[in-house]
Amino acid sequence: MRTFSLLLGMRFVDAQVGRKWFAGWLLTGLLFLPMISSAQGRTANWIFGDGYHVKYTEGEPEVLPFVEDYAAWEGASCISDATGQLLFYSNSVSIWNRDFEYLWNSDIIVPTDVYSTSSVTNGSIFLPFPGDSTESVYIYFYIDKDDNKLYYSLIDLSLDEGRGGVVEGFKNINLFEFAVCEQLLAIKHGNGRDWWVVVRKGNSESTQFSTLLLTPNGFLDAFNQPAGFRGAVAGELTASLDGSKVAVATTGAVCFPNRPIIALYDFDRCTGLLELVDTLRTRECFVNCYGLAFSQSGSKLYYSTADKIGLYQIDATLPVLRDSLILKLSGPSFFLFSGGQLELNSNGEIIMVYGRAPGTEGIDGLTSHLGVIRYPELVGLACNFDTFGIDLNGRENLTYSLPNFANYDLGPLVGSPCDTLSPQDTTQTGLFNPPKPIENWSVFPTASTGLYTLQSDQAGWLIVHDLYGREVLRQWHEQTTPFDLTAQPAGLYLVHLRAADGTATLPRKIVRQ
């Protein structure tokens, strides 16, 4: 059994203090512009709604058999490994493993009333734990529907014969003493390793964001900052692929004069600070603004409206927000059809889910399909919205949900002051350029009560880290070097060798029994 320690060292500071702290930090390098995760990656599997399972294989969507005993009214999330194999999925209430069984040591709650239990817009998200090169530790965040507070659980993939399980002592841990809205967003820090986790503070008429940083040593530097507007609790919170822009949609069915329904921000990946660009005001009374997604470049922002199906496009490069209508549908009565959540897929398309009130009738086949914006970068109707883009095998959907993903492959802000972790070649265009690793080396035994030996003809520093990136041992190595971890607690450790010229081995796992 591994041992875990997670430091919960939160401190809330005023955003203006944070600005002064980072006032001297200027981003002089180029952004490491990300490509969308390949189809065989962390976002390959989409499990959502009334048990739908869509997998992106070789870039094309494959509709798989329905997932039994699963439903997510809104708060769906899932994650795959780097090769596209399913790991975990959730409806913000329960967690399942790759074998479609309840995750070991997680709360087993049969979703009999999915309309109330999972009614949280972006209610959950899975993140790989920063600094874990073994890709076996994950952290699961969720917003509890009953108390509207943010919680986390730590998941170890090695438990339950490799199917994973929640680690004892790190289950359902409350992060904030206050309630939060229905949005949960994660963006990579500028160092390319850590995660900013962003929520809106309060569970009604929110006026603030709360932001914390997840590092290998736990949670640090949590702070509140003003949102710049007052908005309702529901609606999606999303980020551009490069993490430089954030947008939030808020439902506001009642008609308030000039009420903001969308806000666009610039996001600083070094500091976690949001700077308001502009807000978009109410277009129509009693119509909720709900789904939200950026195009691949971040230049276009799309939003959906609930209660009447509507889809709109915004030019996110302009300082003043203006929208244009792409689609508008109305059922036989006012609340029959809903434009649900939006999500960017691995092909650069944007998926839209439709919802429909139970027991109603309308356009045949609409809610058994997903809408697809084929060319989101193009202006207006040229974006080519395919109303019946993906056939869900005839099974009708009543929900609003699509999975809540982060950009898991986002790299460091190369050349910036917060690019502090990875080797880089600044003579090129700022792209990440790691050195070639040392290959001829060994460490033995792989499991012991604390005594090990590293063997390699390459001289350098023998370095040992615990699972969360803390250095626990450093000593000089030449050819054969014994080292001692008997003073360390039992658990998993990572060993590597770093030569004087900067080359290094890939880390190897050893177990302190």
**All domains of the chain, ordered by start, with CATH?**
40-391 (2.130.10.10), 442-512 (2.60.40.1930)
Lowest mean pLDDT: which of 6-20, 360-374, 430-444, 481-495? 6-20
Of 52, 55, 123, which is closest to residue 345 (Cα–Cα)?
55
Quote the CA–CA distance of 305 and 256 in Å, as a whole number: 17
Say if residue 148's pLDDT is above 80. yes
What is the strand order of the sheet 195-201 is part of? 7-9, 218-231, 206-215, 195-201, 180-188
pLDDT at 309: 80
DSSP three-state, residue 45: strand
Mean pLDDT score of the chain: 81
Tokens of residue 228, six digits = 């710049």
pLDDT at 440: 81
pLDDT at 498: 78
Say if residue 428's pLDDT is above 60. no
Quote the CA–CA distance of 279 and 59 in Å, as a whole number: 35
Residue 435 banded pLDDT, cuts 50, 70, 90: very low
Range 160-176 average pLDDT? 91
Say if residue 437's pLDDT is above 80. no
H/E element holding 19? Answer: helix 15-21
Say if residue 168's pLDDT is above 70. yes
Share of the chain above pLDDT 70, in %: 79
Which has more confidence, 173 or 439?
173
Range 285-311 average pLDDT? 86
pLDDT at 327: 75
Tokens of residue 482, six digits = 């014994």
Say if residue 1's pLDDT is above 60. no
pLDDT at 37: 41
Q: What is the reported pTM? A: 0.76
Residue 117 banded pLDDT, cuts 50, 70, 90: low
Which has more confidence, 189 or 112?
189
Q: In the block, which residue shows the tokens 């975990």?
A: 88
